[in-house]
Amino acid sequence: MNIPDLKKARKRTNNKIETKYSLYCLNDFQKKIGLSKKYFVKTYGCQMNEHDSENIKAILEEMGYTQTADMEKANLIILNTCAIRENAHNKVFGLLGRIKHMKQTKDVVVGFGGCMAQEEVIVNEIMKKYKWIDFVFGTHNIYYIPNLIEKAKTKQEIEVYSVEGDVIENIPVKRDSKYKAWVNIMYGCDKFCTYCIVPYTRGKQRSRLPKNIIAEVNNLVMSGYKEVTLLGQNVNAYGKDLDINYTMSNLLEDIAKTGIERIRFVTSHPWDFNDNMIDTISKYKNIMPYIHLPLQSGSSKILKLMGRRYTKEQYIELFDKLKKKIPNVAITTDIIVGFPNETDEDFQDTLDVVNKCKFDGAFTFVFSPRIGTPACKMIDTIDLKKKEERLQILNNLVNQYSKENNDKYLNKVVSVLLEDYSSKNSSYLKGYTDTMKLVNVKADKKYLGQIVDVKITSVKTWSMDGEIIN
Ligand code: 5AD
Ligand code: SF4
C-alpha cells in the first residue's frame, strides 16, 4: 500500500528526482480477468484526465472487459477524478453515494483514481468512511490498475505515489475520436502557482522523449487522423527537463513535418512563451492559429501573490506580439476572481485587461482554496456574494467579446474538421475552425472526418452555423 503525502510531493523541488522511462505490459492471467465482464469509466476534469481515461479503457479492454455506457450494468466502475476546485470534489462524492447503494445489491468492483486520489485528506476519508471502495490509484499509477484489480479481491488496495515521476511508454489507448487525438508530450508541472493543486497531484515536470512523441503522431497520420492536440500542463516548458537542448519550438516543427493536417497544443504559460515558438507557429500552416493563454488575473499585485511570474504589462506585451505575428490568431484565457486580497481596484485591472485583449473566449472561476497549497493559508477577506458578483460582471464582459469575435466570421468561409453529429440536431454535423470556433454544419454524414470549407450563415455567443461550399 502506498498512500499520498502532499508534504513529500512538495519537497521534490529541492531533491532532483531522476525520471525513469519504462514500458507497460500485462501478464497472461491479467489478460483474462475481465472476460465476460463490463466496465464503466466516469471522467471528471481536464483533457489530461480525458486522455488518461482513454488509457484506462484500453488497459481494461486488454484485460478482457467490454465497455458499457450504463453504470448499473457494470461489473467494474472506475471514477477518474479532478481536484482543481471544490465543486469537482462535490460531484464525485455525489456519485459515490449512488454507487454505494448499487454495491449493496450487486457484486461490483469500484476503483477511485485521478487527481483527488493524490490528496491525503481524500484518501484518509476513503480509508475511514468509504471502506467499500475496492481500490485507489494515483495519476502516476494508471499502468498498475491490473495489479490492483487482481489484489483488491481481499482488501482495500491503495497505490498512490507522491514523488515518483515515471514516464511509462506503450500504455495502450482507446481513443474517443477517429479523427482527432490527444497526445501527451509531458506530465506534471513545476510552476507551483500558489492556488493550484496540480503540481502536487500530477508530480514534477517530465517530458516524453521527442522520438516517442513523433512516432505516436506518425502512427496517427497512418491511421487517418487529421488532428492532434499536444497535451501538457505547461507545454511551452517542454524539453526543459531533458538536457538535450530540444524545446517546444523544435517539437512543434518536427510534428509539423509529419504532415498531420492540424496541430493544437494546450496549455501555454505566458512565462515560457518565447519568440522561437511564435515564429514556428506562424511558419507552419498545419499549426493552428489558436492559443489558450491563461491570464488568471489582470492585477500585477494579485499575479505576484499567485506566483505567476509575469505582470499585467508583460502579459499584454506577449498578447500583442502573438496577435501581430500569427495571422488571424484566436486567443482564449482562464481567469480567477476572488483570490485572497483582491480589491475592487485589482478586479478592475482584470476587467481592463479583458477590455484590452477582447479574448475569443474565457473560462472563469471563483477562487477555491485547495488544502496543501500556499493560497489556502492566505487570509481570505472577500465574502462569497462579492465573489459571485465579480464573476457575473466578468462573465458578461467575456460573453460580449466572444460574440463580437464570432460576429466577424459572418459570411466568411472557414475550414472545419467535421468530427461528430451535432448534439442539437442529427441532420447537422459539428466541428471546429482552425481558430477553435464551434460550427454546426448542415451536412451529410459522408463528410464526417473531413476538413471542409464552410460558409458561416449565422453567429451566436458560443457557436456558429454554416453550410458547406464547393
Ligand atoms: N481556484 C479556482 N480556479 C482554479 N484554477 C486552478 N486552481 C484553481 C483554484 N484553486 C483554474 C485556473 C486554471 C484552470 C484550469 O483552473 O484558472 O488555469
Ligand atoms: Fe497549476 Fe500554474 Fe502549473 Fe497551470 S502552471 S498547472 S495553474 S501550477
Q: What's the CATH code of the domain at 449? A: 2.40.50.140
pLDDT band at 14 (very low <50, low <70, confident <90, very high): very low
**148 shares its domain with 247:** no
**213 shares its domain with 332:** yes
**125 shares its domain with 228:** no
**259 shares its domain with 378:** yes
84 lines ligand 2 (CB under 6 A): no
Query: What is the rounded average pLDDT for all residues in the chain?
Result: 93
In a domain, 165, yes or no: no
C-alpha to C-alpha distances, 260 to 135, 214, 221, 225, 268, nearest whole angstrom: 39, 11, 6, 8, 21
**335 shares its domain with 186:** yes
**363 shares its domain with 214:** yes
Domain stops at, among 359, 389, 407: 407
Q: Which residue has a Cα nearest atom 12 of ligand 1?
A: 334
25 versus 151: the higher-pLDDT residue is: 151
**352 shares its domain with 427:** no
**363 shares its domain with 294:** yes
Please tell me the predicted confidence (pLDDT) of residue 161. 78
200 lines ligand 1 (CB under 6 A): no
| C-alpha cell at position 401 | 467579446
pLDDT digits (tens, 9 = 90+) for 90-104: 999 999 999 999 999
Of 25-29, 242-246, 352-356, the one with minimum mean pLDDT is: 25-29
368 lines ligand 1 (CB under 6 A): yes
Q: Ligand 2: distance of its center to the CA of 190 in Å?
A: 8
**65 shares its domain with 204:** no
Cα separation, 141 vs 160, whole angstroms: 7
Domain stops at, among 391, 407, 423: 407
pLDDT digits (tens, 9 = 90+) for 295-327: 999 999 999 999 999 999 999 999 999 999 999
In a domain, 452, yes or no: yes
pLDDT band at 20 (very low <50, low <70, confident <90, very high): low
Cα separation, 417 vs 423, whole angstroms: 16
pLDDT digits (tens, 9 = 90+) for 408-453: 999 999 999 999 999 888 889 999 999 999 999 999 999 999 999 9
C-alpha to C-alpha distances, 259 to 252, 254, 256, 327, 423, nearest whole angstrom: 12, 9, 6, 21, 30
Q: Would you state the torsion angle of the CA atoms of residues 280, 285, 289, 292, taken in this order, to the nearest 10 degrees? A: -60
**395 shares its domain with 442:** no
Ligand 1 atom closest to the Cα of residue 197 is: 7
Ligand 2 atom closest to the Cα of residue 233 is: 6
In a domain, 182, yes or no: yes
**120 shares its domain with 242:** no
Of 60-69, 213-222, 379-388, the one with minimum mean pLDDT is: 379-388
Please tell me the predicted confidence (pLDDT) of residue 23. 67
In a domain, 35, yes or no: yes
In a domain, 92, yes or no: yes
**121 shares its domain with 250:** no
Q: Does the structure show a pLDDT above 90 at 26? A: no
The boundaries of the domain holding residue 295 are 173-407
In a domain, 166, yes or no: no
Q: Ligand 1: distance of its center to the CA of 140 in Å?
A: 21
Q: What is the CATH number of the domain that holds 278?
A: 3.80.30.20
Domain stops at, among 91, 124, 159: 159
In a domain, 168, yes or no: no
Please tell me the predicted confidence (pLDDT) of residue 315. 98
Q: Which ligand lies nearest the alpha carbon of 309?
A: 2
Provide the number of structural domains found in the chain.
3
pTM of the model: 0.93
2 versus 126: the higher-pLDDT residue is: 126
Q: Which ligand lies nearest the alpha carbon of 374?
A: 1
pLDDT digits (tens, 9 = 90+) for 230-241: 999 999 999 999
Q: What is the CATH number of the domain that holds 68?
A: 3.40.50.12160
